[in-house]
Amino acid sequence: MDAKIEEISDGVYMIDPCLFDSMGYIALYFITQPKRILFDVGPSVTAERVIHAIEGLGYKGEQIDYLFVSHVHVEHSGGISKIASWASNAKIIVSPASVRHLTDPSKMYQAYTSSYGRFASLIGDYQPLSQSSMPRVVSTLSELPLGDRRSRIIQCVGHAHHQVCLQLDGSLLGADILSTQFRINDQLLPTSTPPSFNYPKYTEDLDTALALNLDRLMVSHYGAFDNPTEIITKALDSLKWLRHQVESLLKEGLLADEVADTLLKGLNCTPPVDNEYAQIKAKLSLIGFINGVIKVRSEKV
């Protein structure tokens, strides 16, 4: 199966690598002007699809200027070794905290496999970046040199302590700053998979994005939105609603796992993201969120 490509605007493409041979699981973004930037590379199992998609647009690997790794979770960057070999001239932009995982992803990948079980093998392994590619890794930039185009690399650490997002003029490539993939009673379920979810920082990330007065928001899960203020506000309101639900159930004496199972009864998945993997991911997000709420409550005591 081939990756699906959608032109969002002039020189901006969304690439869906069709994980599990289905659309809707993860979106990557390819920018062609004034530099060629691939924002996230996707998992290793779909790396060849991503390469073919970009080559189908008329670009060779050596023409890619930047590979932007938002964070080192497997579905976002598991294909970095393959993609970096293909894009042999590209600088690899990461956060400082991500660098060590590029050379040794074993600990991170082990945690992933323990959470997702058999689905981990379907998403592919995480090969370390070759030593010959390491000189191209850059983790100290606050912006990309794009001529007249305004750019800013923003630390967005609520989802993961090593996540970075990219602002290009009035657009934000937001990675996992929020998700529209899962809803609980029509409220957006945050990207709060454990163990790195940080509730206060996640809220700060959304507030930061809201203050940018964006024209467009592009997220990994899933898609590009020309109503970013509405989407971000919805995400913030959903956090408040979900926290209230969690605290109410905890007061009833339910354990975190029981709270998650109760809330999952109201789960709706954006089609076609509706299978066993989606159920696992949704529950993990709920567990991460519940643990985040418990931590905030304990710190206030």
Return d(Cα 211, Cα 208) in angstroms, integer. 5
The percent of residues in the chain predicted with pLDDT above 70, rounded, is 99
Return d(Cα 15, Cα 2) in angstroms, integer. 10
pLDDT given at position 121: 85
> Around Cβ 204, how many Cβ atoms within 10 Å?
14
**Token pair belonging to 286:** 């709920």
pLDDT given at position 276: 85
pLDDT given at position 122: 87
Q: Flag residues of the chain having pLDDT under 50.
A: none
Return d(Cα 253, Cα 139) in angstroms, integer. 45
Domain topology for 4-231: Metallo-beta-lactamase; Chain A (3.60.15)
Instruction: Report in angstroms the alpha-carbon separations of 242 from 107, 196, 258, 266.
Output: 31, 19, 15, 12
Return d(Cα 79, Cα 73) in angstroms, integer. 11
Return d(Cα 213, Cα 262) in angstroms, integer. 36
pLDDT given at position 301: 57
One-letter amino acid identity for 69? Answer: V
**Structure confidence by residue, pLDDT tens digits, 31-80:** 999 999 999 999 999 999 999 999 999 999 999 999 999 999 999 999 99
One-letter amino acid identity for 294? Answer: I
**Token pair belonging to 207:** 């507030």
pLDDT given at position 45: 96
In the chain, where the domains are located? 4-231
Return d(Cα 15, Cα 133) in angstroms, integer. 24
